[in-house]
Structure 1
Amino acid sequence: MVAQLPLFHVSYTSFFQLMSFMSRKRRKTRLFRSRCSERTVSIGVELEAYSISIPDYKISRSLHFPRRSAAEAGERFTKDVSIGNEYNSKIFYTVREALFLLKNGLRKYIHYRAPRERDRHTLFLVGGWTDRFAGSHIHVALAKKKLDPKQAQRLARCLHSHIPFIIALTGNSPVWRDRLNQLNSNRLLLGTKTYCKITKGSELSKHRYSELTLNAGGKRKPPTLELRVPDSGVPEYILAAVCVIKAVALRWLAGKPTLNHLSHENYVVARDQAVHYGPGAKLYWNHHVITVAQYADLFFRKYKDELDQLHIPGEVIDLFKYLKKGWNQSTVIRRAVQRSLWSHRPTWERRFAKRYAHAIESLLDGNTFATFAKTLGVRLPNIDRTWLGRKEARW
């Protein structure tokens, strides 16, 4: 009995040391989670766009830039090799800040043009129209520290399974080679193998043209995780995708488990569905086949804590409600084009471009997406009794 006392004493001391260590670890975890706010994740956007010349309302890839004095620190008005106009946003940390900055930056193309320009141009924000692709590239980084490859890989693994949902949400190219079709995203259907290569959730690609890739950065910007799947579109839809990304990133930073795991086979099927059918697609939540509307409900219920931190503006929330009703920006563009075709087929493109020029100017001046659609001659569905996060969506 006496010989065993020292052993008992050592074990007892070790037990208290272990409990003390675990207590300190829990305190650090709680402290980290309390600091894990919306501003922890920074976002930047590259937006490519067609042009509409105002005198003749012709859709083209013509280059036009605001005058140099209009550019603020951190934003760039540059040239994309494929499409022409490209806007690089300032870095933003909150969704409300981003909505203001994106609209303010894009409206400079309209209201702050060079004084010597004879013709006036405006932006045409679609994923495709003639024979070139226009996309929105969203860059994700950590606000206070550098995103290293291991962290980027873990974040990419969490985000990868939600890419089909983002495609269904942001698809915006129902026209290709000046012909209307029923596809949600002609850009992704025709350009995936070249400009938006499919990746596996378990791997992090460094290839420039992968759909989800590690961007090494440079002197002007830090390393980022770049998502290339969204079509070019209006600021509200870009920020809807940003909300999905930030919610997933905040959950990952808080050390919580990933909620949606897809096999590569199921991912490819869901992605193809989203590219073709958009809001009408069948997606996967783990191994369950669900509709896009059910996916939206599940996401808002499962990620409620993270989404509450984002303080999402009502005009962005409305887009998820329209998605539940079977509408996205591709649906709006398709309905507007059909209206122009029914009105007068020989001049349908000019008629559509004229309406779009007025609609985008109104939107960038601060009006809502509902006003944008109304100016295009499209009546959106009523969403007054549409709710997000309903418990009918299981799993």
Structure 2
Amino acid sequence: MRKRLRKIRRAGTRSSTRSERAISVGVELETYSISVPEYRISRELHFPRRGIAELGERFTKDASIGSEYNSRVFYTVREAFFLLKNGLRKYIHYRSSPEEHDYRTLFPIGGWTDRFAGSHIHMALGKKKFEYRRARLLARRLHSHIPFLIALCGNSPVWRDRITAINSNRLLRGTEKYCKVTRRELLYKHHYRELTYNEGGKRKPPTLEIRVLDSGIPEYVVAAICVVKAVALQWLERKPSLNHLTHEDYLSARDQAIRYGPKAKLLWNRHALTVPQYVDLFFRKYEDELDQLAIPDDVIDVFKYLKRGWNQSTVIRRAAQKSRWHHRPTWERRFAKRYAAAIRALLDGNSYTEFAKALGVRLPSIERTWMGRRESKW
């Protein structure tokens, strides 16, 4: 009888942990600045006016890049999408000196001049303490999906003011210093690892930090949150791990994602896949978990554009090339002017499609693009 009661209790506990709120998430987003009206891209600091931050939200300084936004804790994807946009919007609409004509707006990109900017996702088990032992188990699940996150969120095609064909110059050039490769079976407490365990402090609980994402717009940060939350929810259900990569395969897929982004060749259990195939397979394998997340349509569109071979790095590259073709000596200023208007409209509620259009880039149609097509054999 006692054994039977234990089974019933375990079953009840198991169903409760499947709630989306069982995994809490926070975001650190580093950003460049655009000075207006000069439209000069720089690392100059800028903050919203005092008293505008909400509880748990911080507008702070990063030692490397300059401005950094620390979000509140999110428990659902829709909450993350709304609050992240609302928080970043304060840089534009609640400036410290709103009457001045000269001001700075945010420019969330992985790299431009000579420094890198990233988006870091912090994961925890809701309001429970996240022990190192459990964080290590979750990190092992997430590790094989890191190349997919890089292909999805790469956003640094420009480096030292030169337009390149690279998806993420930040990781290509900064991995050894800022985002060191981690083996699947290990979880370090070192700050500059791609996956790291933060022990927390008085104000912050222990978290598992994912550092591979380039800085980017909220749609892509939340898309990455969807991926990691889906994997984490399946881990909480004690379901078997779905993707196991050897370290050699992982390094190969990671390098492909860094260089080629949506055009990369990724791996799923030693099977080579294109990025569109990986998206379909992920949405099929994690269908139950993704259904729980109630993902906003704007974020679903990000995955659809990825299937069509586009991510934010592609958009930035096309927009920069168009500005350079128009007038080479002043292309950066022209690009910055377009971007300042585009990011303002995006954070005010416009779609990602309108954001790209404001940059002078026409995205492909996704009307007949579906997620989770059964074209793969696994």
Cα pair 2:37 2:101 within 8 Å, conserved? no
The residue aligned with 2:9 is 28
Q: Deviations over 1:243-292 (max 9, x none)?
A: 00000000001111110000011000000000000000001101111111
Please, which of 86, 98, 107 is the counterpart of residue 104 of structure 1?
A: 86
The residue aligned with 1:364 is 347
1:253-332 map, 5 Å: 253-332=236-315
Alpha-carbon deviation of 1:32?
Answer: 2.2
Q: Deviations over 1:32-80 (max 9, x none)?
A: 2321200110000000000001111000001111111111110000000
* Alpha-carbon distance in 1 for matches of 2:376, 2:293: 23
Letter in 1 for 2:157: P
The residue aligned with 1:180 is 163
Cα pair 1:298 1:394 within 8 Å, conserved? no
Please, which of 220, 240, 245 is the counterpart of residue 237 of structure 1?
A: 220
* Alpha-carbon distance in 2 for matches of 1:24, 1:234: 49
* Alpha-carbon distance in 2 for matches of 1:184, 1:364: 24
The residue aligned with 2:45 is 63
Partner secondary structure for residue 229 of structure 1: strand
* Alpha-carbon distance in 2 for matches of 1:114, 1:228: 30
Give ranges in structure 1 of 5+ residues lacking alignment.
1-16
Letter in 1 for 2:329: P
* Alpha-carbon distance in 2 for matches of 1:325, 1:369: 15
* Alpha-carbon distance in 2 for matches of 1:312, 1:32: 25
Partner secondary structure for residue 213 of structure 2: coil
Cα pair 1:32 1:254 within 8 Å, conserved? no
Cα pair 1:146 1:222 within 8 Å, conserved? yes
Q: Deviations over 1:1-36 (max 9, x none)?
A: xxxxxxxxxxxxxxxx6xx61x33432332123212
The residue aligned with 1:150 is 133
Cα RMSD (Å): 1.0
Q: Deviations over 1:278-319 (max 9, x none)?
A: 000001101111111111000000000000000000000011
Q: Does 1:221 align with 2:209?
A: no
* Alpha-carbon distance in 1 for matches of 2:64, 2:315: 25
Alpha-carbon deviation of 1:105?
Answer: 0.6
Letter in 2 for 1:105: G
Q: Deviations over 1:350-374 (max 9, x none)?
A: 0000000000000011111111001
Cα pair 1:126 1:233 within 8 Å, conserved? yes
Identity over aligned pairs, percent? 69
Please, which of 329, 338, 344 is the counterpart of residue 346 of structure 1?
A: 329
* Alpha-carbon distance in 1 for matches of 2:263, 2:5: 49
Give ranges in structure 2 of 5+ residues lacking alignment.
none
Relative to the length of structure 2, the TM-score reads: 0.98
Cα pair 2:266 2:275 within 8 Å, conserved? yes
The residue aligned with 2:71 is 89
Relative to the length of structure 1, the TM-score reads: 0.94
Q: Does 1:164 align with 2:144?
A: no
* Alpha-carbon distance in 2 for matches of 1:118, 1:28: 63
Q: Deviations over 1:79-98 (max 9, x none)?
A: 00110000000001011111
Partner secondary structure for residue 339 of structure 2: helix
* Alpha-carbon distance in 2 for matches of 1:373, 1:212: 31
User: How many equivalent residue pairs?
Assistant: 376
Cα pair 1:294 1:393 within 8 Å, conserved? yes
Please, which of 27, 38, 54 is the counterpart of residue 45 of structure 1?
A: 27
The residue aligned with 1:12 is none
- Residues 67-76 or 27-36, more deviating: 27-36
Cα pair 2:153 2:214 within 8 Å, conserved? yes
Partner secondary structure for residue 300 of structure 1: helix
Letter in 1 for 2:34: I
Runs of 4+ residues deviating >6 angstroms? none
* Alpha-carbon distance in 2 for matches of 1:84, 1:394: 47
Letter in 1 for 2:368: R
Q: Does 1:249 align with 2:232?
A: yes
Partner secondary structure for residue 158 of structure 1: helix
* Alpha-carbon distance in 1 for matches of 2:222, 2:64: 24
Letter in 2 for 1:392: E
Cα pair 1:153 1:204 within 8 Å, conserved? yes
Please, which of 299, 318, 334 is the counterpart of residue 317 of structure 2?
A: 334
